[in-house]
């Protein structure tokens, strides 16, 4: 199994793919931290992406690991109000303080992908898929 959390930590900006009634939407998102099969992110609960995630929690997040291999995790989004996790997000990502001020800000929403599958692609490695 590839260390997807390590790759995400080294290269935290990636592409989150969601679905809505119009089709697939992609946007740049920043990985916060991983805890086992849980890959954590945050968003403002007033944004359209929040509504999309609530309506259809099936997502994919993809980043390049030095551009080869490319790693994606696929699974379902789970929202959490766990203040320990929200505080951890703020501690590990100081930029969040400039956006949300504090972990108890009502628009600050933490979620994670409950990873079901990890996929990799590299020109020399080919494609691989791991079910969790």
Check which CATH number belongs to the domain holding 65 and give it: 2.30.110.10
The pLDDT, as a whole number, for residue 67 is: 55
How many domains would you assign to the chain? 1
pLDDT-derived band at 69 (thresholds 50, 70, 90) equals confident
| Residue 132 near residue 2, CB atoms below 8 Å | no
Q: What is the mean pLDDT of the chain?
A: 91
Please report the DSSP string for 39-102 in residue order: EEEEEETTSHHHHHHHH--EEEEEEESTTSSEEEEEEEEEEE--HHHHHHHHHH-THHHHHHSS
The mean pLDDT value for 72-94 works out to 97
Whether the pLDDT of residue 103 is over 70: the answer is yes
- The tens digit of pLDDT for each residue in 52-62 reads 999 999 999 99
Q: Which domain holds residue 53?
A: 4-131
């Amino acid at each position: 199994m590839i260390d997807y959390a390590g790759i995400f930590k080294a290269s935290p900006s990636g592409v989150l793919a969601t679905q809505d009634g119009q089709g697939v939407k992609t946007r740049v998102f920043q990985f916060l931290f991983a805890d086992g099969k849980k890959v954590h992110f945050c968003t403002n609960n007033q944004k359209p992406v929040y509504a999309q995630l609530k309506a259809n929690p099936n997502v994919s997040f993809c980043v390049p690991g030095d551009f080869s291999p490319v790693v994606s995790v696929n699974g379902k989004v789970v929202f959490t109000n766990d203040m320990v996790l929200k505080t951890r997000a703020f501690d590990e990502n100081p930029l969040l303080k400039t956006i949300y001020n504090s972990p108890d800000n009502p628009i600050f929403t933490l979620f994670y992908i409950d990873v079901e599958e990890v996929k990799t692609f590299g020109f020399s490695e080919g494609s691989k898929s791991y079910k969790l």
